[in-house]
Amino acid sequence: MPQVAARINAEQERWLKDYFRTKSAGAEFILPWAVDTFFRAINSIKHSFSTAELKTIVEAHRDIKPMPNHTKLSYLLLRIADACDVGSIHLRHGVSKFGIEAKLKGLDDTQATALTVWASAFWISRNHSSANLEEYIKSY
């Protein structure tokens, strides 16, 4: 099995040891579970948004590095509202700010986290750039 080096804080380390006896045993369970949960969440919402709305969501995450404690629905709503209010990105893509916010409000925290990670991943990935945003969204 391939090795992955993750960064966890002391509280997370204690939690893994308490529930799984060792960090390694906990990580071997949690990481695949998190990946599976991410893809289940993405697949459950992938058809809920139009291409223009997805472009707006991805663009709102430019230069944003998501932190685990900033991936709830409330943060996603704030991120989109701010990007629309400050940068008018919704107008650039022909999206109703209120329409996209209404759809986002229908998500649970797991779905919002998955959408945040997916949108941020576009900008972090070595394989993507503004030139292939359309391709990234189609593969979603």
Q: Which pLDDT tens digit goes with each residue over 47-99?
A: 899 999 999 999 999 988 888 888 899 999 999 999 999 999 999 999 999 99
* CA-closest candidate to residue 78, choices 54, 53, 99, 105: 105
* Pair 123, 57 in one domain: yes
* Pair 34, 70 in one domain: no
Of the chain, the end-to-end C-alpha distance in Å amounts to 27
* Pair 62, 31 in one domain: no
* Pair 60, 92 in one domain: yes
Instruction: Enter the tokens of residue 123.
Output: 């900008």
* Pair 31, 89 in one domain: no
* DSSP structural state of residue 3: -
pLDDT of residue 19: 92
* Pair 32, 57 in one domain: no
What average pLDDT does range 108-115 have in this prediction?
A: 94
pTM (global) more than 0.95? no
* DSSP structural state of residue 77: H
Domain carrying residue 31: 10-45
* Pair 77, 115 in one domain: yes
* Pair 37, 59 in one domain: no
What average pLDDT does range 26-39 have in this prediction?
A: 90
Q: What is the dihedral of CA 107, 103, 84, 115, to 10 degrees?
A: 40
What average pLDDT does range 103-132 have in this prediction?
A: 88
